[in-house]
Structure 1
Amino acid sequence: MAPQKRQLVGFPAISPEAAGLNPGPLQQLREAVTRNVHELGALPGCAHVVLKDGHCVFACAEGYSDVEKRTPFRFDTLCPLHGATKPLVAAAFFTLVDEGRVSLSDPISKYIQFPDRVLSASGSTRAAASTPTLRHLLAMAAGVGYDDASGYKKAMRLIATGRIHDLRGMCDALGDAPLAHQPGTRYHYSFSADLVGRVCEVVSGERIDKFIHRRVLQPLGMKDTHFDQVVPAGKRRRQAVMYTSQRVSRAKRVSAGSPRPFRLTRTVFKTSAPGIMSCGGGVLSYRDYGMLSTVRDYARFCQMLASGGRIPGGRGKRLLKETTVKRFWRDGLTPFQRENGKLSGWNDCPSPSYWNYMGWSLLNTHLCFNDAPRKASPRRGHCMWMG
């Protein structure tokens, strides 16, 4: 019998050198994690996984998921995904695109209630100059705002008081409000992911958590990924505690007899919209988790993307078409840019030179590029999300 290959976080393990990688930066990462967790006290705990061609070349878990209880932070520690919920929702949506059940050129209003009026600075409304499509929605260029948009005051009040308690009610309320911008004229980080989730519900006839489970989580073997509202009770003990990290002055450190320059404070709060399965990872505040997952689970999702849509260990089976995944690596904002290659809300935000090196994927993640400024043709880059 052939010896079994060593496994790390569910993947065959090989050394960085065997994968053709320089181990130096990975060792530096491990040392930085150790320093931030144990010496500086800036982090309670964290975990990192690096995959190459379907193999795990680096896995590191340090610190605690619960500092007070000294519970080790592990690869199966449940963590709030917040904005990293969006790519899971987008991937589930694109399974419908692959099946031909929806098209990116479809009007949003074909599936859900969607406004055709735009709010002006004076408080009046005017007709939308164009019909926003599902592509606009995935690119966050449909004219939708976030909870602080002036047109959403009524909807947010109904959510805050518990009179709206599910995704359908939330999206219906957003559909009653005017748009914040003319469609296609501006990137606006917004409730777009929630509206995409609602489209998935309407087309599939399933609640969003069940739809994503069937289309993405179950095929990928992501057994520990759930919306906050449906995390099994037995798994809650593995959920990481939230902490705030604050730098402490030297005088206060001396007074407290602590050598660490950072102080961790346990943070406990109630979700602000408890009934709504937030597809964007936040409704009224960052207190809404969206989905929770583990490093082990999310690594499987990332490997699927890196493999062009193939399921890890799935013997060639696919979650998404290769052409669909290739689309994720191209700048989704290109169709909406002005003649100078820039787009309002993106290139005119703080640190515009930084954003010239960034794009927006229809997967609802950032793309990082080596070339700048923005070009007329779609660019390819590597994908990241800052949470």
Structure 2
Amino acid sequence: MLAPTPASPESVGMSQSALDRIDAHLKTRYVDAGRFPGTQLLIYRRGKVVHDSVQGFADVERKVPVRNDTIFRIYSMTKPITSVAFMMLFEEGRVALDEPVHKYIPEWKNLGVFVGGTAPAFVTRPPARPMLIVDLMRHTSGLTYGFQQRSNVDAAYREAKLGDVVKAGTLDSMIADLAKIPLEFSPGEAWNYSVSTDVIGYLIGKISGMPFEQFLKERIFDPLGMVDTDFYVPANKAHRLAACYSADPPGAMSFLATERKATLTLQDDPATSSFLSPPSLISGGGGLCSTTADYLTFCRALINGGEVGGVRLLGPKTLHLMTTNHLPGNLDLPALSRSLFSESAYNGIGFGLGFGVNMDPAKTLIPGSAGEYYWGGAAATAFWIDPAEELITIFMTQVLPSSAYPIRRELRTMVYAAIAESNL
């Protein structure tokens, strides 16, 4: 895949001085202050790369700087890729969004909804309706993540190590374990950030007849030339894998902490990382490593209506369907969310099929456009796509958890401030 052409910011209606201000902010507030080891920020507008800056270290202990080819754990930025892969099967008529999940996972047919008790003696009731595939795509399935730390159900997830940052088991064992744990709520009644996209990865393998990771490689990564995106980093690229750090000494990770000191603790050493070998559990919800350049290629396909460089992943209408709010009643996340943590701000934000969707920028209290879509990863990586502004922004660092600092809000404010012309 040919790399996009670089251009001056002014040639696409952006301010160089405003972009320089972002780099200075990242350096002063985050890198020099010890909050982030290093960063990469890429901004693409109107078909051109107008800003691609790296600073700080990919590996603080070994003094390895962040480079343009640094490989990052993108964690939940895997979810949009998995969701696109599933919708490729949808376009081929091999699956429908309103089908019950138990059509493909029969052992889930009698999943109950949590009423009380603890594992293994849960008290449950029948759901109001079966879980549908669309519930998995939009996180209204009733599944959860263990790190939510909100209920006896997510405690059972933690006990079974379901959805952990450090993966255990296999996709098959995950599906079997989930059959033993009740749902948090009846499908469609609420939104809860969850292992739903891991289940989508399992379904891709089952419906396509090939391993999930092979489907991604043959249908997305190889055609797009995303040569550095995979569920592990091979030996010949190991020197490019960044270290991952925790903002919660000593290497712990709390998604709910409200205050951090500007310190970093090594959480995953790139010399001994589990990402250096193929995992047993192929996580469609959070298992990929990638580079900024590779992820830009994926985003370029999306902003271009599903195609880039002559390779089409999806049709424009399918992509529009994915990036439209699918929450019941067209509500936003505050009206439906039960999550104590997700990769999204809430007010004015809906959820499509694999993406957060900006429904009302006035409610978010951050500059933006109605219809922009985005997501992020647990190690504070993030991206967003704004079709109205023909804008893609990708940010990479490696600090758990993503909620440690308000970097995403700051970046959105500052990147939109760099647009030097008015389309209002």
How many residue pairs match? The answer is 342
1:243 matched to 2:245: yes
**Structure 1 residues 332 and 25 mapped into 2: Cα distance closer, same or farther (>3 Å)?**
farther
Pick the aligned partner of 2:319 from 304, 315, 325.
325
By how many angstroms is 1:155 displaced? 6.6
By how many angstroms is 1:244 displaced? 3.3
Q: Work out the CA distance in 2 between the residues paired with 1:68 and 1:155.
A: 34
Amino-acid identity (%): 29
Report the equivalent of 2:267.
267
Pick the aligned partner of 1:121 from 85, 99, 116.
116
Q: Which runs of 5+ in 1 are unaligned?
A: 1-6, 248-260, 282-289, 374-378
Is the 1:115–1:177 contact (alpha carbons within 8 Å) kept by the matching residues of 2? no
Work out which of the two has the higher radius of gyration on C-alpha atoms and give 1 or 2: 1
In structure 2, what residue type is equivalent to 1:124? V
**SS of 1:226 mapped into structure 2:** coil
Report the equivalent of 1:299.
296
**Structure 1 residues 163 and 325 mapped into 2: Cα distance closer, same or farther (>3 Å)?**
closer
Q: TM-score with structure 2 length normalisation?
A: 0.72
Is the 1:361–1:367 contact (alpha carbons within 8 Å) kept by the matching residues of 2? no
Pick the aligned partner of 2:175 from 153, 171, 175.
171
Runs of 4+ in 1 over 4 A off after TM superposition: 151-160, 269-274, 335-338
By how many angstroms is 1:49 displaced? 0.9
Equivalent positions of 1:3-14 (< 5 A) are: 10-14=3-7
**Structure 1 residues 242 and 12 mapped into 2: Cα distance closer, same or farther (>3 Å)?**
same
> Which range moves more in the overlay, 327-336 or 59-68?
327-336
Which string of whole-angstrom CA distances, capped at 9 and with x for unpartnered residues, describes residues 155-200 of structure 1? Answer: 754558x997211121122124322211110111111011111110
**Structure 1 residues 369 and 75 mapped into 2: Cα distance closer, same or farther (>3 Å)?**
farther
In structure 2, what residue type is equivalent to 1:76? D
Q: Work out the CA distance in 2 between the residues paired with 1:368 and 1:121.
A: 36
Q: TM-score with structure 1 length normalisation?
A: 0.79
Q: Work out the CA distance in 1 between the residues paired with 2:336 and 2:167.
A: 35
In structure 1, what residue type is equivalent to 2:114? L
Pick the aligned partner of 1:355 from 323, 340, 346.
346
Q: Work out the CA distance in 2 between the residues paired with 1:245 and 1:179.
A: 31
Which string of whole-angstrom CA distances, capped at 9 and with x for unpartnered residues, describes residues 15-41 of structure 1? Answer: 111112233331211222232465323
Pick the aligned partner of 1:206 from 182, 186, 210.
210
Report the equivalent of 1:98.
91
Pick the aligned partner of 2:337 from 316, 320, 345.
345
Is the 1:37–1:63 contact (alpha carbons within 8 Å) kept by the matching residues of 2? no
> Which range moves more in the overlay, 186-195 or 124-133?
124-133
Q: Work out the CA distance in 1 between the residues paired with 2:236 and 2:225.
A: 19
Which string of whole-angstrom CA distances, capped at 9 and with x for unpartnered residues, describes residues 197-228 of structure 1? Answer: 11101001111111111222122211101113
Equivalent positions of 1:54-93 (< 5 A) are: 54-93=47-86
